[in-house]
Chain A
Amino acid sequence: DARVTQTPRHKVTEMGQEVTMRCQPILGHNTVFWYRQTMMQGLELLAYFRNRAPLDDSGMPKDRFSAEMPDATLATLKIQPSEPRDSAVYFCASGLYNSGGPYEQYFGPGTRLTVT
Chain B
Amino acid sequence: SQQGEEDPQALSIQEGENATMNCSYKTSINNLQWYRQNSGRGLVHLILIRSNEREKHSGRLRVTLDTSKKSSSLLITASRAADTASYFCATDRGSTLGRLYFGRGTQLTVWP
Query: Which positions 20-44 of chain B face chain A at CB distance < 8 Å?
Result: 30-31, 33, 35, 41-44
Chain B residues lying within 8 Å of A102, measured Cβ to Cβ, are 30-31, 33, 48, 50, 92
Given contacts A42-B105, A101-B30, A102-B31, contact A55 B97 (CB under 8 A): yes
**Is the CB–CB distance between B44 and A48 below 8 Å?**
no
Quick one: CB contact mask for B90-110 with A, threshold 8 Å, 1 for yes? 001000111111111100000
Given A109-B42, A110-B42, does the pair A43, B99 have CB atoms closer than 8 Å? no
Tell me how far the C-beta of A104 lies from the nearest C-beta in chain B, rounded to whole angstroms. 4
Interface residues of A in 68-83 (CB under 8 A from B): none
B12 at the interface (CB under 8 A from A): no
Contacts A42-B104, A42-B105, A43-B88 hold; do A103 and B45 have CB atoms under 8 A apart?
Answer: no
B-contacting residues of A (Cβ < 8 Å)? 4, 31, 33, 42-43, 45, 48, 50, 55-56, 91, 93, 95, 97, 99-110
Contacts of A95 in B (CB 8 A): 98
Establish whether residues B98 and A103, one from each chain, have CB atoms under 8 Å apart when the complex forms. yes
- In the bound complex, how far is the Cα of B41 from the Cα of A108, in angstroms? 8
Q: Which 10 A-B pairs have the closest CB atoms?
A: A107-B42, A102-B31, A97-B98, A107-B43, A104-B45, A43-B102, A103-B98, A42-B104, A109-B42, A108-B42
Interface residues of B (CB under 8 A from A): 2, 30-31, 33, 35, 41-45, 48, 50, 88, 92, 96-105
**What chain B residues lie within 8 Å of A55 (beta carbons)?**
97, 99
Q: Is the CB of B99 within 8 A of A104?
A: no
Q: Does the CB pair B98–A50 fall under 8 Å?
A: yes
- Give Cα A107 to B101, complex, Å: 14
Question: Among A42, A45, A106, A108, which residue has its beta carbon within 8 angstroms of that of B99?
Answer: A45
Question: What are 30 of the A-B contact pairs (CB < 8 Å)?
Answer: A4-B42, A31-B98, A33-B99, A42-B2, A42-B102, A42-B104, A43-B43, A43-B88, A43-B102, A48-B98, A48-B99, A55-B97, A55-B99, A91-B42, A93-B43, A95-B98, A97-B98, A99-B96, A101-B92, A101-B96, A101-B98, A102-B31, A102-B48, A102-B50, A102-B92, A103-B92, A104-B33, A104-B48, A107-B42, A107-B43
